[in-house]
């Protein structure tokens, strides 16, 4: 069984999102807390970022926020986080979140969330980590991205095996089993990174 103590969540900072996304984020945070898993996220105080943290904290869980200094200066941080790490750059923020996490989950989000998810998958493809990655496809939000990944495989931009780097689920309740019971990734597959 995988030793999972901290899970990173990438998600939207928008408050103007579907209620089903907010509910999924809060439920995911609650599930982390009830299973003794620390949430690691970008420390945002609004949108789905705030919702996942609220779900975890309200259920008695621990939340580590990682945020660059300029965002703290804008007041974008979440004062409720159990612990906060302030970085100097966005690159440092992403690296810190990845290094401190045992698995990663992507909730619906904007371009920043997509960028974080795709960078995390790129690092996995290159053998820089082998952590489980789960896409929580609430209401089919990621359907078009998944179709684009299929196209990448069809066009030989990536190998079919690289679709095994992540698991797609539709509900928060499926996330932990996807992480704990999902396929393991061998970092030596970096030899297959190039086509």
Which pLDDT tens digit goes with each residue over 17-51?
999 999 999 999 999 999 999 999 999 999 999 99
In this structure, whether the domain defined by 6-192 belongs to CATH 2.40.50.700 is answered with no
pTM of the model: 0.95
Question: How many Å is the Cα radius of gyration of the chain?
Answer: 16
Closest alpha carbon to 11 in 37, 36, 44? 44
The pLDDT of residue 188: 81
**Coil, strand, or helix at residue 131?**
coil
Q: Give domain limits for the chain.
A: 6-192
Token pair recorded at residue 9:
């969540």
């Amino acid at each position: 069984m995988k030793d999972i103590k901290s899970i990173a969540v990438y998600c939207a900072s928008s408050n103007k999102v579907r209620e089903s996304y907010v509910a999924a984020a809060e439920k995911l945070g609650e599930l982390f807390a009830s299973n003794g898993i620390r949430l690691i996220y970008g420390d945002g105080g609004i949108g789905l970022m705030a919702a996942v943290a609220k779900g975890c904290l309200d259920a008695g869980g621990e939340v580590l926020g990682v945020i660059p200094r300029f965002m703290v200066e804008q007041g974008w941080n979440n004062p409720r986080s159990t612990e906060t790490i302030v970085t100097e750059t966005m690159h440092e923020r992403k690296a810190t979140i990845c290094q401190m996490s045992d698995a990663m989950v992507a909730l619906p989000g904007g371009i920043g969330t997509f960028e974080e998810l795709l960078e995390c998958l790129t690092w996995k493809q290159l053998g820089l980590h082998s952590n489980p990655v789960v896409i929580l496809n609430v209401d089919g939000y990621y359907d078009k991205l998944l179709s684009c990944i299929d196209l990448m495989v069809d066009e030989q931009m990536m190998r079919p095996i690289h679709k095994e780097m992540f698991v797609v689920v539709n509900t928060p309740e499926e996330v932990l089993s996807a992480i704990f019971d999902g396929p393991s990734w061998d970092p030596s597959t970096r030899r297959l990174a190039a086509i």
